Chains A and B, each alone.
Chain A
Amino acid sequence: MLETFQILSFLFLPLLSFVILIFFGKKLKSHSSTLGMFLIGLMLTNSIFLILKAEPYDFVLKTYNKWTLYKSFEWFSTGNFSISLGYFVDNITAIMLVVVSLIGFLVHLYSTEYMKDDPKYSRYFAFLGIFIFSMNGIVLADSLIMIYVFWELVGLSSFLLIGFWFEKEKPPLAANKAFLTNRVGDIGMFIGIMIIFFHVGSFNINEIINGVSDMNKTLLTLAGVLVFMGAVGKSAQFPLHIWLPNAMEGPTPVSALIHAATMVAAGVYLTFRIFPFLTPDALAIVAVIGAITAVMAAITAITRNDIKAVLAYSTISQLGYMVMAVGVGAPVYAFFHLVTHAMFKACLFLCSGSVIHAMHHSLHHLHDHETDPQDMNNMGGLKSKMPITHAAMLISTFAIAGVPFFSGFLSKDGILAAVLSYYYKHGDWTILLPIAGFGAAMITAFYMFRLIFKTFYGESKNKKIFKHIHESPLPMTIPLIILSVLSLAFAFTANLNPLVSKGWFKSLIYKYSKSHNFMDMKYINAGIDAAHYDAMYLSLFVASIGIGFSVLIYLLRKINPDNISKVLNIIGLFSLSKNKFYVDKIYNFVLYRPFLKQTQIASYIDWDFYDQKLIDAWGWITLKVSKYSGISDYSILDQKIIDGTSHLTQYVSGQLRKTQSGIIQNYLLGVLAVLVVIIILINQI
Chain B
Amino acid sequence: MENTIFMQNSILSLLIFLPVLGAILMLPASKYLKIPNIIKYIALFTTGIQLILSAWLYINFDSTLSVMESPFTVQVNWIKHFNIEYFVGVDGLSIPMVLLTALLSFICILASWNIDKKPLGYFSLFLLLDAGMMGVFLSLDFFLFYIFWEVMLLPMYFLIGIWGGPQRHYAAIKFFLYTLFGSLFMLLAMIGLWYFTAPFNNNEGTFNLIKLIQLSPMIDSQLWGFDIQWLLWIALFIGFAIKVPVFPFHTWLPLAHVEAPTAISVILAGVLLKMGTYGLLRISYPLLPGEVVAFSYTLAILGVINILWGAMCAIAQIDLKKMVAYSSVSHMGYVLLGMSAVVSPSLAGAEAGLNGAVMQMFNHGTITAMLFLLVGVLYDQAHHRWIVYPDNYKDQELAGKLAFGGIATQMPVFSAFVALAFFAGLGLPALSGFISEALCFIGGFSAFRLVTAIGTLGILLGAVYLLRAYQRVFLGPLNDSYNKLIDINSRELATVVPIAFLVLLFGVFPKPLVDMVSSSISSLVSVIQGAM
Contact = CB atoms under 8 A, between A and B. Distances in A.
A–B touching in complex (CB under 8 Å): yes
A351 B297 CA distance: 58
Interface in A74-113: 75-81
Contacts of A198: 346, 349, 445-446
The bracket for how many chain A residues form the interface is 35 or more
A318 to B, nearest CB: 27
Contacts of A675: none
A596 B468 CA distance: 11
A516 B459 CA distance: 33
A78 B474 CA distance: 39
B76 interface: no
A600 interface: yes
Contacts of A194: 441-442, 445-446, 452
B137 to A, nearest CB: 21
Contacts of A168: 476-477
Interface in A453-490: none
Contact of A166 (B355, B475, B510): B475
Interface in B454-472: 456-457, 459-460, 463-464, 467-468, 471
Interface string A167-186: 11101110110011001101
B347 interface: yes
B448 to A, nearest CB: 12
Interface string B313-325: 1011100000000
B251 A191 contact: no
Contact of A183 (B251, B429, B460): B460
Contacts of B456: 187, 190-191
Nearest to A197: B442
B352 interface: yes
Given A599-B312, A602-B312, A179 B467 contact: yes
A75 B408 CA distance: 35
A81 B348 contact: yes
Interface stretch (B118-126, B146-154, B281-289, B513-521): B513-521
A184 B460 contact: yes
A607 interface: yes
A290 interface: no
Contacts of A149: 429-430, 434
B463 A183 contact: yes
A168 B475 CA distance: 8
A187 B476 contact: no
A75 B510 contact: yes
Nearest to A163: B475
B476 A166 contact: yes
B408 A76 contact: no
A183 B468 CA distance: 14
A80 B347 contact: yes
B460 A191 contact: no
Nearest to B408: A166
Given A180-B467, A198-B349, A77 B445 contact: no
A183 B423 contact: no
B248 A610 contact: yes
Contact of B352 (A78, A175, A611): A78
B312 A598 contact: yes
B453 interface: yes
The bracket for how many chain B residues form the interface is 35 or more
A387 to B, nearest CB: 38
Interface in A168-226: 168-169, 171-173, 175-176, 179-180, 183-184, 186-187, 190-191, 194-195, 197-198, 201
Given A79-B518, A169-B477, A184-B460, A615 B251 contact: yes
A156 interface: yes
B309 interface: yes
B460 A602 contact: no
A168 B476 CA distance: 5
B251 A79 contact: no
A172 B476 contact: yes
Interface string A46-87: 000000000000000000000000000001111111000000
Nearest to A123: B412
Interface string A614-636: 01100100000000000000000
| Among B316, B317, B441, residue most surrounded by chain A Cβ atoms (within 10 Å) | B316
Interface in A414-429: none
A604 B441 CA distance: 29
B511 interface: yes
Nearest to A167: B409
Contacts of A598: 312
B522 interface: yes
A326 B409 CA distance: 45
Contacts of B434: 149, 152
A131 interface: no
B290 interface: no
B326 to A, nearest CB: 8
Nearest to B517: A78
A201 B348 contact: yes
Given A79-B518, A81-B351, A180 B251 contact: no
A76 B514 contact: yes
A234 B463 CA distance: 16
Given A79-B351, A619-B177, A153 B428 contact: yes
A634 B46 CA distance: 54
A187 B313 contact: no
A51 B467 CA distance: 40
A152 B408 contact: no
B429 A78 contact: no
B317 A603 contact: yes
Interface string A347-382: 000000000000000000000000000000000000
Nearest to B308: A602
A121 interface: no
Given A76-B514, A81-B352, A610-B251, A183 B459 contact: yes
A78 B174 CA distance: 40
B313 A606 contact: yes
Contacts of A607: 251, 254, 313
A187 B429 CA distance: 14
A81 B518 CA distance: 10
A150 interface: yes
Given A78-B522, A191-B453, A599-B312, A169 B459 contact: no
B313 A190 contact: no
Contacts of A603: 312-313, 315-317
B442 A76 contact: no
A148 interface: yes
Given A152-B434, A599-B316, A606-B251, 14 more contacts: A80-B348, A156-B428, A163-B475, A166-B406, A167-B408, A167-B475, A167-B476, A173-B471, A175-B471, A176-B468, A179-B463, A187-B460, A191-B453, A599-B312
3 nearest CB pairs, A to B: A611-B251, A172-B475, A603-B316
23 contacts: A75-B510, A78-B352, A78-B521, A78-B522, A80-B522, A166-B476, A167-B409, A167-B475, A171-B475, A172-B475, A176-B467, A176-B468, A183-B459, A187-B459, A190-B441, A191-B456, A194-B446, A198-B446, A599-B315, A604-B316, A606-B313, A607-B251, A611-B251
Interface of A: 75-81, 145, 148-150, 152-153, 156, 163, 166-169, 171-173, 175-176, 179-180, 183-184, 186-187, 190-191, 194-195, 197-198, 201, 596, 598-600, 602-604, 606-607, 610-611, 615-616, 619
Interface of B: 174, 177-178, 248, 251, 254-255, 309, 312-313, 315-317, 346-349, 351-352, 355, 406, 408-409, 423, 428-430, 434-435, 438, 441-442, 445-446, 452-453, 456-457, 459-460, 463-464, 467-468, 471, 474-478, 510-511, 514-515, 518-519, 521-522
